[in-house]
Copies of this chain bind each other. A is one copy, B any other.
Amino acid sequence: MQRTEISKYGEFGLIKHLTEKFKISNESTLYGVGDDAAVLDYKEKQVLVTTDLLLEGVHFDLVYVPLKHLGYKAAVVNFSDIYAMNGQPKQITVSLGVSKRFAVEDLEELYAGIALACETYGVDLVGGDTSASLTGLTISITCIGEAEKEKIVYRNGAKLNDLICVSGDLGSAYMGLQLLEREKIVFSANSEAQPDFEGMDYILKRQLKPEARKDVIQALKEKGIVPTAMMDISDGLSSELIHICTQSNVGCRIYEDKIPINYQAVVMADELNMSIVTAALNGGEDYELVFTVSMADYEKIITVEGVGIVGNITKPEFGLQLIGREGEELEMKAQGWNSLK
């Protein structure tokens, strides 16, 4: 494979080379890459801003994450934060720190993933920064989105008796990660070994190429449902529910048998002798949405495809209860993924 040293381009040449194929598709993008700042026009809409810093060895492992997938995922997880406010992502900026290990072709792969994500979700790349790094790859993405003021959904609006809803399924991304880690260990012991991913394409995809739930936000809009509180599930359902309950000053009750789990994730958990419920509650990286809706929206919410009711909001003094399959009560704790521990 061709290997072009990054120094051939220099900073400005490199940014230009990597970004010139990106097209601007949003009316709110007045000016993108190429000046001191991007210029956006949000008119009467509110502006949403979210940011994420991804560090090699902490947030991703290039041994098993292809750069194109990494670019796609890095962009999508930011879009997910904007959807979680009931907004629409419109622009991103991408800053990279790259060590000499990386060639221009590597960054082209990374940007190809970002470009695919931008195209899929209708988002414009409007700026960024590329610089040398002494060690590894650093990716910092900021996403800007729009929302109507009255439709923005915060974490703090859950009310007593609201229904707690979850999109898609939980724990699959975590089980995909466990599978990749297992095969990495096998490979490091025997470099002739071929990874054994048979029948596990779904959980691998959930880990390597997650999607943000634009479709769910669209469906809620079409049904006329505005959630009372919402988050995306990046650190695990338990952790997100703690945020919602703390900020809303409520408790919650979740039914274990209602937690949506995919069959492949169950099989993988069995193989590894892990609890799939623990993975679903604490695994993280699913980028599904957890949200609360008023009881009055019950008839509407059950018609939304890919969304299930997993419990309900209770009084704060009940805390966060998990009701097991036998009816036993457990207290939910956040064991969510935490890079600082």
Q: Lowest 8 A-B CB distances belong to which pairs?
A: A140-B140, A53-B95, A37-B50, A40-B47, A36-B84, A37-B48, A131-B339, A142-B142
At the interface with chain B, which of A65-73, A121-129, A314-322?
A121-129
- Does A81 lie at the interface of the complex (its beta carbon under 8 Å from any beta carbon of B)? yes
- Does A133 lie at the interface of the complex (its beta carbon under 8 Å from any beta carbon of B)? yes
Cβ distance A291 to chain B, nearest Cβ, rounded Å? 11
When distances are taken between beta carbons in the complex, the residues of chain B under 8 Å from A130 are 340
**Which size bracket describes the interface of A in this complex?**
35 or more
When distances are taken between beta carbons in the complex, the residues of chain B under 8 Å from A81 are 36-37
* A38 near B10: Cβ-Cβ < 8 Å: no
When distances are taken between beta carbons in the complex, the residues of chain B under 8 Å from A58 are 97, 131-134
Which residues 67-97 of A sit at the B interface, judged by CB distance below 8 A?
81-82, 84-85, 87, 91, 93, 95-97
Whole-angstrom CA separation of A11 from B156 in the bound complex = 19
Interface centre among A46, A91, A232 (most CB of B within 10 A): A46
Q: Which A residues are within 8 Å of any B CB, using their own CB?
A: 6-7, 9-12, 14, 30-31, 34-44, 46-53, 55-59, 81-82, 84-85, 87, 91, 93, 95-97, 126-136, 138, 140, 142-145, 147, 149, 152, 154-156, 231-232, 243, 247, 338-341
* B51 near A134: Cβ-Cβ < 8 Å: no
Q: Which residue on chain B has the smallest CB distance to residue A83?
A: B36
Cβ distance A65 to chain B, nearest Cβ, rounded Å? 16
Q: Which residue on chain B has the smallest CB distance to residue A14?
A: B340
* A51 near B85: Cβ-Cβ < 8 Å: no
Q: Which residue on chain B has the smallest CB distance to residue A156?
A: B35
Whole-angstrom CA separation of A124 from B31 in the bound complex = 24
Whole-angstrom CA separation of A341 from B6 in the bound complex = 8
Cβ distance A13 to chain B, nearest Cβ, rounded Å? 9
Given A12-B243, A57-B134, A142-B142, 13 extra CB contacts under 8 A: A9-B340, A36-B84, A36-B155, A37-B49, A39-B46, A40-B47, A42-B47, A55-B131, A55-B132, A55-B138, A58-B97, A132-B340, A144-B144
* B14 near A49: Cβ-Cβ < 8 Å: no
When distances are taken between beta carbons in the complex, the residues of chain B under 8 Å from A40 are 46-49
Cβ distance A57 to chain B, nearest Cβ, rounded Å? 5
Whole-angstrom CA separation of A134 from B135 in the bound complex = 9
Cβ distance A320 to chain B, nearest Cβ, rounded Å? 16
* B126 near A35: Cβ-Cβ < 8 Å: no
* B35 near A39: Cβ-Cβ < 8 Å: no
Whole-angstrom CA separation of A81 from B59 in the bound complex = 29
When distances are taken between beta carbons in the complex, the residues of chain B under 8 Å from A155 are 34-36
Cβ distance A85 to chain B, nearest Cβ, rounded Å? 5
Cβ distance A100 to chain B, nearest Cβ, rounded Å? 10
Whole-angstrom CA separation of A128 from B91 in the bound complex = 17
